[in-house]
Amino acid sequence: MKFGRNLPRNMVPEWSSSYIKYKSLKKLIKSAVHAKKMGNDPDLAGFFYSLDRNLEDVDSFYNKKFSDCSRRLKLLEDRFGHPETLPSHLDPEDTEDMLAALLELRGQLRKLQWYGEVNRRGFIKITKKLDKKLPGANAQIKYLSTKVYPALFATNSHLLHSVNSINEWLSVLGHEKVMDDNSSTHSALSLKKPSSGGILNLPTSLLLSVDDALRRDDTSALLDLLPTLKTAADGIGEAVFTKVLMSLQQRSIFYRSKACLAALLHRVTSLEEEDDINKRNCIHRLVISIGRSQSTVDPESSATMVLNFPTETSNYITPATTPTLKPQRPVVMESDHPTHIGRDSPVVMFLQYLLDNLLPHQRPALLARDISGKTPLHFAAQYGFKAVCDVIIEHLQEWDMFDVSEGIDGPLWQDEDGMAPLHLSVVGGHPLTTKTLLDSENWKGSNQDKTAIRRNILKSSAVLALATKANFVDIVHLLVEAGVNINYQDEQGETALHSAARFGHDQCAAALLKGSDEQQADIELAENTYAWTPLFIASVDGNINIVKLLIEAGANLEATDSSGWTAKEHATLRGHIDIARLLDEAMAASDSSVESDAASQSAVSSSPPSQSSLNDRNSKDRAPDAVKSFGHRYLTDKSMILVSLGTMDMRKAADPVSLERIPMAEAHLTQLDTALSIVVSASGAHGEPQIIDLPVQDNISTEPIVFHTADSSKTKIVFDLVPTYAGSNDQVFGRGVALLSSFKPTVNSSRSNLQGDFVVPLIAAKTLEIIGSVTFNFLVITPFSHPKMSITEDQTYWKSVTSPMVIGHRGLGKNIAGRHSLQLGENTVQSFIAAANLGASYVEVNVQLTKDHVPVIYHDFLVSETGIDAPVHTLTLEQFLHISDGRKPAGKQSSNHSGTPNSEDGFPRLLQTRPRSMSVGEELDVPNLSERMKHTRDFKKKGFKGNSRGDHIQAPFATLEELFKELPKSAGFNMELKYPMLHESEEEEMDTYAVELNSFVDNVLRIVYDHGEGRNMIFSSFNPDICLLLSFKQPSIPVLFLTDSGVSPVADIRASSLQEAIRFASRWNLLGIVTNAEPLVLSPRLVRVVKESGLVCVSYGTINNDPANVKIQVNEGIDAVIVDSVLAIRQGLTGVEA
C-alpha cells in the first residue's frame, strides 16, 4: 500500500526520470474520485491517456537500454566466439578484462531487470487503485493483459536469456581463472589470444623468446627478435604485425618493463585497439589495474553502500534487493585504501613514464573514451587516486588538451550516462580527489564565471543530492563552495536539503544551510507531490536535529502543505511528539502571537483540509458514518491464524526475508539472481496463498495473512521462494516450513511466552543448502461461545450523544501524590460508585487475571504491596485479596470456598462492613507498610502506592465479578484489559511470559457475559493482540484501541503513533481509539482525522485534568474524555455548554 512512498528508494538513481509517474497518476485518480463525490461522472480519458504515455516511455527506455546491452554481448561473441570454443589459455589481463566486461554487463542487465520489475509493479498497483477507488472502472485485468504484459519489460524473457549467456561465459572463465599463470610457457601462450588474430599461427619458440625479453626488460634482445617476428607475421596477414606490437606493448605494461615499453611506443602509430571488447587502450587498462589492486575483497564495507552508479560491478550479488542499495564496484574510500598511492608509488611513476614517452600523435589516447564514454581520468577519479589524477591532469595541461571552459563537470567531460570525473569522485566518497579536480579548473588562473556556469550543470546538482544522501560531509562542503546549485530540484521537486532532512544528516544540512557567498539555500522550496518543504520531510521522518537547524534558519513553521496541514500536525500524527513540542514552543515564541494562531485555528476549523498528505492510504471510498453500525464479524467454530512477515518490534532491524549473498564467481550457478517472490500458504488450514514480491515493503508486518483452521496445532505455514515471472508457483527455488504447535512453547498449559518473532531457514530445492531465512510472527485466535452471547436489534454499539462523555479514570481518578485532599483508592468499588454518582457516563476499570484465572481490578503489572515486585498473574485470588490490608484471610468472598456469610441482598457482608474512612489506630501501621514497599520498583519511582493507607482512603481490592454486582447498571463499564507487551515486561523487569492470550480473554468474557446484561460496556487495551481477540471472539461489545501515540516509547509498531493506531483500528473494524490527550492538544484538528476515518475518538492523560485542554478537544468534536477529576471536568463542560 506504500508503493508510491517506496518508489524513489527502489529506483536506479541515474534512471529516476524514466520511471512510471506514479504519484501524478494517483492525483488523477483522486480528481476522478472527487468528481464522483460531487455527483459528476468521473472522466477517465485523461487518466488513461497519461497511463498510455507512461507505458510508452517506460517501454521505450527499457528497449533502448536492452538494445545497448545486446549490442555489447554480440561484440563479445563476435570476438571470442561461444563459451565452449574459448581457448584453453588466456592472458591474465585478458581474463580480467573479459570478466570485468561480463560482470559490468551483467550488472547493467540486473539493473534493467529491476527497472522492469518496479515499473511492472507500478502499473499493477495504479490500475488496482483505480478499480478500488472507482469500482465501476474494472480496468486492471483488461489493461494489464492487453497493454502491460505483452511489453518486454513486463516479462524480461529476452533479458533472462542474455543473463544465461553471460552466466555460461562466467562459468568457463571462472574455471579458467583458477589455472596457474606462473610458467613462462603459459605466459608466452597467452600472447596467442583471440584478439591477436593471425598471431595464433606464430611459432611458440619465438613467442617464448619475446616474452622472456619483455619479462627481463631486455631492450636489445627484444629489438633483435622484432625483425624475425615481423617476417613471420607478415607471412600470415597484412595487419598482423601491428596487432602483435599492441600485444607486446600490453605485455610490457603488465611486466612494468619501462625500456621495452618506450621502444615499442616508437613503433606503434596509435594506441587504440579496435577489437577490444571495452574499446579501452593501454592507459585505461593501466589505471584500472591500479584500481583493482586497491579494491576491497568484500564491498559490503564500502562507503558507497547507499549509492549505485554504472561502473565496475561488485564481487557479490544480493538476491531480491534493489540495485540502488549496493555498490556496483569494489571501490573503497580514499581513507580506506590498503596502501597509500602517492607520486612516489611505483605504479604512479610507471604511469608518469608511459605518458612522458608518448609521441605527439599518441597523446589523444589520454582523452580516449571507452565503450561507456569514460576517459582514464574517469577511472582515476572513480577509484579515488589523487596522485593518478594529478599526473593525468598535469600532462593534459602541459599538452594544452585540458579544456575546462565549462567546468570539470561540463558536457565535454561527461560519459554516456552524463557522469564526469568529478561526479564519480563525489559518489565514491573521495574528498581529496574531488578537491584536486575542482582546483584543476584554475590552471589558467581563477575564473569567477565557473560558479555561475556550474550552477546550470544539472548533473552536478543531482550528485550533490546523492553526496548528501550518502552523508559525505566534506564533499558536500566542497561542492557548496564550488558553486553547485544547492537549490536544484529534481524530477520530484526535491533539493539536497530535502535529502538531508529525510535521512537525518544534520552536518550536511548545516553545510547546505550555511551556503556560500554566492548563494544561499532556499528552505521554503517544496517538492511536487504534497508541497512539502524540508521542514515537513524532517517532521514526517522524525529527525529532530534537522528540525532544530531549520527553526534556527528561520523556516516558516506555520506553512501548510497542499492538503492544508502543518509540519507540527504531521509530526504529531506520526508519533514524533518531541518534534511537535519543539515546533509548538517555537511557534509560541515567534512573532506570530497566540491571537493570530487562534485566528488560523478557527479559520481551519470551519473548513477541514484534505487528508491526502496525512495518510498514504485510505481504506474507504465513501464518507464514513458518524456512528458505528452494530455488530461485527466474529469467529464461531474455527480458529483464525494471522501470519505477519517481519517483526512488530521496531527495535529490531530484522528483514522479513533475508537471502544469503552470492559470490560473483558463483553467479552462473544460482537461480536467485532474478526477480523473486515469497508465497505464504498453510497446510491444515483454509485461506488463499499470499504472493509477496521481494523485497517486501515497509509496512508488511502490519498487514497479516489470514488463515482459518479447525485445529491450529496441526497447521504448518509454508514459505516458498519462487521466481516472480514464472507465471505459476510450481517452480520453487527454496522452502521454509513452520510447524505452529512447536513455535510457541507454553510455559505450561495456560502460560505463553511474550517473545513473538520466529525465524525459519529457507532450504534450496536442488542443493538443500540454506539460502536464507524468513522472520515472521503469528497469532492464533480461538472461538469463544457463551449462552448469553447474541446480537439483538435493540442494542447499539455507541450511543450518539450531543455532548462528549466523561469517563472516570480508574474509577474516581487515579491516585497521585500531593493532592490537597484524601482520595478514594483507585480501582476500588467505592471509587467507581463515586465516579458514577458524580456524572461519569462510563467508569474505566483495569482488568488483569490472577494465577487461578480470576479477573481482578488492578492497574499496575506488579503488586508492590507484597514488599516484592510480584506480577498479578503469579498470585492466586486468595493471595491477591489478602494483600489489601484490612481484609481478613477469611474474606475470600469471590470464590465458592469462602466462609464469609452474605447479606440479605446477596453481596458479601465484608464489603458492607468495611470502614469507609481510616481510624486513628490504623494510621499506626502506615510506616510498616511504607517500610515493606520501599524497595519495590513502583514505590521507588513514585514514592507512594495507589490505594494505600496514609495517602488515600484505602479500600479492598476488587474482582470484576464484584464490580458488576456492586455498581448500578446505569454506570457503563470501559474495561481496559491489562496484558503486558514485550517492551513493558522488559521495562518492569518481569519474566517474559504471561497468561496465554486466548485463555486470558476467554476468562474475562465469561464473567462479562455472566453478569453484564443490560449494561453499556466497552473493551479497550493497549495491547493490539488483545484488541484483535476481543473483536473476533464476540459480536456485541465494541472494542477501543488504546495508544500513547508516541508520547512514551514503545516497541510494537502498531502502538507507535496516532497514524498507526488509526490504521490498525480501521483495518480490523474496531470502534475507535483512545489516545493520550497530548497529541490532540498539540494538534487539535487530528480529532477530525480520527473521526473522518470512521472511528470514535477518546482521549486520556493527566493534561485532561485541565478543563481548558478538554475544551480544545471538545471544540473539535471529541467523543469522550477520560479524566481523574470527574466533577471538575463535568462542571467545566456544563459551563461551556451553558
pLDDT in tens, 402-417: 988 888 888 899 998 7
Give me the pLDDT at residue 719, please. 96
Residue 310 clears pLDDT 50, i.e. is over it:
no
Span 311-336, average pLDDT: 52
Instruction: Return the half-sphere exposure (C-beta side, CA atoms, 13 A cut-off) of residue 278.
Output: 28
The residue to which cell 486520556 is assigned: 1100
Give me the pLDDT at residue 676, please. 83
Q: Flag the least confident range among 97-101, 540-544, 746-750, 1023-1027.
A: 746-750
Q: Flag the least confident range among 167-181, 747-761, 765-779.
A: 167-181
The answer to whether the CB of 1032 falls within 8 A of the CB of 1043 is no
Residue 257 clears pLDDT 60, i.e. is over it:
yes
CA distance linking residue 1031 with residue 1026, whole number of Å: 9
CA distance linking residue 579 with residue 563, whole number of Å: 20
The residue ranking higher by pLDDT, 697 or 228, is 228
Mean pLDDT across the chain: 77
pLDDT digits (tens, 9 = 90+) for 473-484: 999 999 998 888
The residue ranking higher by pLDDT, 919 or 1084, is 1084
Residue 657, beta-bridge partner list: 774
Amino acid occupying residue 448: Q
Span 57-77, average pLDDT: 89
The answer to whether the CB of 910 falls within 8 A of the CB of 955 is no
Amino acid occupying residue 339: T
Model confidence band, residue 727 (pLDDT cutoffs 50, 70, 90): low
Contacts of 618 (CB under 8 A, 6+ apart): 611
The answer to whether the CB of 843 falls within 8 A of the CB of 836 is yes
CA distance linking residue 1138 with residue 1130, whole number of Å: 12
What percent of the chain is modeled with pLDDT above 70? 73
Which of 109, 105, 111, 133 minimizes the C-alpha distance to 37?
133
Residue 958, beta-bridge partner list: 857
Domain ranges of the chain: 3-177, 184-268, 640-781, 805-876+968-1137
Model confidence band, residue 625 (pLDDT cutoffs 50, 70, 90): very low
Contacts of 1048 (CB under 8 A, 6+ apart): none
The answer to whether the CB of 1113 falls within 8 A of the CB of 1084 is yes
The residue ranking higher by pLDDT, 989 or 249, is 249
pLDDT digits (tens, 9 = 90+) for 450-462: 556 666 677 778 8
Give me the pLDDT at residue 1007, please. 95
Give me the pLDDT at residue 227, please. 87
Give me the pLDDT at residue 639, please. 92
**CATH code given to domain 640-781:** 2.60.40.150
Residue 895 clears pLDDT 90, i.e. is over it:
no
The answer to whether the CB of 436 falls within 8 A of the CB of 386 is yes
Residue 918 clears pLDDT 50, i.e. is over it:
no
Q: Among the residues of 470-620, which ranges form H helices?
A: 473-481, 496-503, 506-514, 534-541, 544-552, 567-573, 577-589, 594-606
- Residue 764 burial (CB count, 10 A): 19
The residue ranking higher by pLDDT, 317 or 1098, is 1098
Span 836-848, average pLDDT: 71
- Helix 204-215 and helix 219-234, axial crossing angle in degrees, nearest 10: 150
Ranges 82-96, 428-442, 694-708, 862-876, most confident = 428-442
Count of residues making up the chain: 1138
- Residue 296 burial (CB count, 10 A): 16
What percent of the chain is modeled with pLDDT above 90? 32
CA distance linking residue 600 with residue 1079, whole number of Å: 18
Q: Flag the least confident range among 279-283, 410-414, 836-840, 1046-1050.
A: 836-840
Give me the pLDDT at residue 792, please. 54
Model pTM? 0.77
CA distance linking residue 112 with residue 118, whole number of Å: 10
Fold of 805-876+968-1137: TIM Barrel (3.20.20)
Give me the pLDDT at residue 1077, please. 95
Q: Residue 994: helix, strand or coil by DSSP? A: strand
C-alpha cell belonging to residue 310: 554504472
Amino acid occupying residue 545: N
Contacts of 124 (CB under 8 A, 6+ apart): 140, 144, 148
The residue to which cell 578484462 is assigned: 97
Model confidence band, residue 9 (pLDDT cutoffs 50, 70, 90): low
The residue ranking higher by pLDDT, 625 or 205, is 205
Give me the pLDDT at residue 274, please. 72
Residue 736 clears pLDDT 70, i.e. is over it:
yes
CA distance linking residue 781 with residue 638, whole number of Å: 9
Model confidence band, residue 99 (pLDDT cutoffs 50, 70, 90): confident
Span 202-209, average pLDDT: 81
Amino acid occupying residue 279: K
Amino acid occupying residue 696: V
Give me the pLDDT at residue 618, please. 30
Query: Nearest 5°: phi and psi at 73?
Result: -65, -40
Residue 678 clears pLDDT 80, i.e. is over it:
yes
Model confidence band, residue 666 (pLDDT cutoffs 50, 70, 90): low
Residue 8 clears pLDDT 60, i.e. is over it:
yes
CA distance linking residue 426 with residue 311, whole number of Å: 14
Contacts of 72 (CB under 8 A, 6+ apart): 101, 105, 277, 371
Q: Is-same-fold flag (640-781; 805-876+968-1137)?
A: no
C-alpha cell belonging to residue 159: 533479458
Buried b / exposed e over 114-123, threshold 16 CB at 10 Å, is bbbbbbbbbb
CA distance linking residue 216 with residue 724, whole number of Å: 56
Model confidence band, residue 1089 (pLDDT cutoffs 50, 70, 90): very high
Longest dimension (CA), the chain: 129
The answer to whether the CB of 229 falls within 8 A of the CB of 277 is no
Give me the pLDDT at residue 609, please. 54
